[in-house]
A and B are shown apart, each in its own frame.
Chain A
Amino acid sequence: RKEVEQDPGPFNVPEGATVAFNCTYSNSASQSFFWYRQDCRKEPKLLMSVYSSGNEDGRFTAQLNRASQYISLLIRDSKLSDSATYLCVVNKGGATNKLIFGTGTLLAVQP
């Protein structure tokens, strides 16, 4: 079983749609969680950290369920510019700050 699992997609949605991505992780000791966005042939860029209480940044909402070891990202009112691969990332904890990356979910927003 992979340490971080995501549905690879692609998710093809029309502009204005709401889309949700899910991610599960296997290590219950994981301490911090992130969503990164990666455009084609570019580096990953931090989209948002994910907190147990849930957090929102504009059209983006992230949720964490520690009991189920489940992370989600909701994008409302999708824009063409949201088209990218979304990476679920988990910090294993401890002193090394090692991140474990999911393989990513590809989103294509259609006009």
Chain B
Amino acid sequence: DGGITQSPKYLFRKEGQNVTLSCEQNLNHDAMYWYRQDPGQGLRLIYYSQIVNDFQKGDIAEGYSVSREKKESFPLTVTSAQKNPTAFYLCASSTAGDPPTQYFGPGTRLLVL
């Protein structure tokens, strides 16, 4: 089955701890994205990558880091510098069609202990 997988489904972070969220896709999409969703707010873009070994900051990149060493994988690290990390994190990848269309993974819920 083609699709986007995210793990874990739930993640607990202690104060001062870095945590890494996994995102893998087998859709052969070049572009991948990380969003954060908070209650009552629209999805907000954290980072995106249009091609392997390249990525760009989105609207709320502070306190986050990413890597894109493989086309299939785009992990997100939530660092201790992110002071309000509790949220629903969604990874997406995009077709190159017209219009380009984004498809989402099932998400990871991050909770701070």
- A44-B43, A91-B99 known; A96+B104 contact, CB < 8 A: no
How long is the Cα–Cα vector from A100 to B35 in the complex, in angstroms? Answer: 11
B-side residues, CB < 8 A to A, are 31, 40-45, 48, 50, 56, 58, 88, 90, 94, 99-107
Number of A-B contacts (CB under 8 A): 52
How long is the Cα–Cα vector from A101 to B104 in the complex, in angstroms? Answer: 13
Residue pair B48, A49 in contact (C-beta under 8 Å): no
**Which residues of the partner chain B approach A42 to less than 8 Å between Cβ atoms?**
106-107
**Which residues of the partner chain B approach A104 to less than 8 Å between Cβ atoms?**
42
- A4-B42, A43-B107, A44-B90 known; A99+B56 contact, CB < 8 A: no
How long is the Cα–Cα vector from A49 to B103 in the complex, in angstroms? Answer: 13
How long is the Cα–Cα vector from A97 to B96 in the complex, in angstroms? Answer: 10
A-side residues, CB < 8 A to B, are 4, 8, 31-32, 34, 41-46, 49, 87, 91, 95-104
Chain B CB within 10 Å, residue with most, of A4, A97, A104: A97
How long is the Cα–Cα vector from A2 to B4 in the complex, in angstroms? Answer: 30
Residue of B nearest to A99 (CB): B102
Q: How far is the CB of B22 from chain A (nearest CB, A)?
A: 15
How long is the Cα–Cα vector from A4 to B41 in the complex, in angstroms? Answer: 11
**Which residues of the partner chain B approach A8 to less than 8 Å between Cβ atoms?**
40
Residue pair B50, A96 in contact (C-beta under 8 Å): yes
Residue of A nearest to B109 (CB): A41
Residue of B nearest to A36 (CB): B104
- A44-B43, A87-B42 known; A32+B107 contact, CB < 8 A: no
**Which residues of the partner chain B approach A46 to less than 8 Å between Cβ atoms?**
101-103
